[in-house]
Amino acid sequence: MKLWELFTLAIALSMDAFAVSLCKGLSMKKAGLKEGAICGAWFGGFQALMPLIGFFLGSLFAAAIEAVDHWVAFGLLLLIGLNMLKEAFEKKCDCESHDADLSVKTMFVMAIATSIDAAAVGISLAMAGNTNIYAAIALIGAVTFILCAVGVKIGNIFGRRFEKKAQAAGGIILILLGTKILLEHLGVIG
């Protein structure tokens, strides 16, 4: 994958964690650098770790499913993207379920919950081939850290305005990346 594709993927993957960070900021009386850094570190760390795990799992099975690997990558990204879009257009607001608690227990559970899809993306990266996984996870982790740290502050200032839009944008980006992988492997685009 090219650098701009990895950057786009990193932004898309970070949208769930960004939405939770907005909610965290919303529920805080005052959000500073410390609170932003805590959210950024938890979410960024897990968004980097999960694709690495997925990549190595996908690499174990890559040879066995090489003939259909592009379909697997497309299918996983499509499902994740559609789920993000579904969540973005649901009527309920998630912010009520996220309080200002930044304890290890709370942040661990939230970091796992927002990064499960990143493991599936890691599998997709293994299937797509030609990806430097270490550059990918470094970029995913850094982008997520920055967006989540900023998201806490934005949530503290502006509230719920951006949560659903961020999730929808992330879903669309993942669907487009999956489609691109499929079309490249089918020889439709170069």
Report how far residue 6's alpha carbon sits from residue 139's, in angstroms, rounded to the nearest whole number: 7
Give the HSE-up count for residue 11: Cα atoms under 13 Å, Cβ half-sphere: 12
In this model, does residue 42 exceed pLDDT 90? yes
Kindly report whether the global pTM for this prediction surpasses the value 0.75: no
Q: Are the C-beta atoms of residues 15 and 166 closer than 8 Å to each other?
A: yes
Token duo for residue 81: 């993207």
**Of residues 64 and 12, more confidently modeled:** 12
pLDDT computed for residue 13 by the predictor: 87
Instruction: Kindly write down the DSSP assignment for every residue of the chain, as one continuous string.
Output: --HHHHHHHHHHHHHHHHHHHHHHHHT-SS--HHHHHHHHHHHHHHHHHHHHHHHHHHHHHHTTTGGGHHHHHHHHHHHHHHHHHHHHHSSS-GGGG--S---HHHHHHHHHHHHHHHHHHHHHHHHH----HHHHHHHHHHHHHHHHHHHHHHHHHHGGGGHHHHHHHHHHHHHHHHHHHHHHHTTS--
Residue 162's pLDDT band, with cuts at 50, 70 and 90, is low
In this model, does residue 164 exceed pLDDT 80? no
Token duo for residue 176: 């487009």
pLDDT computed for residue 11 by the predictor: 92
Q: What is the dihedral of CA 131, 51, 154, 169, to 10 degrees?
A: 70
Q: Are the C-beta atoms of residues 43 and 144 closer than 8 Å to each other?
A: yes
| Per-residue model confidence as pLDDT tens digits over 55-88 | 998 888 766 766 776 787 788 778 877 887 887 7
- List the chain domain ranges: 3-185
Q: Region 24-40: what's the mean pLDDT?
A: 86
Q: Are the C-beta atoms of residues 147 and 17 closer than 8 Å to each other?
A: yes
Give the rounded percent of residues in the chain with a pLDDT score beyond 90: 25
pLDDT computed for residue 96 by the predictor: 52
Q: Are the C-beta atoms of residues 163 and 93 closer than 8 Å to each other?
A: yes
Report how far residue 83's alpha carbon sits from residue 102's, in angstroms, rounded to the nearest whole number: 26
In this model, does residue 185 exceed pLDDT 90? no
**Of residues 125 and 145, more confidently modeled:** 145
pLDDT computed for residue 95 by the predictor: 56
Residue 91's pLDDT band, with cuts at 50, 70 and 90, is low
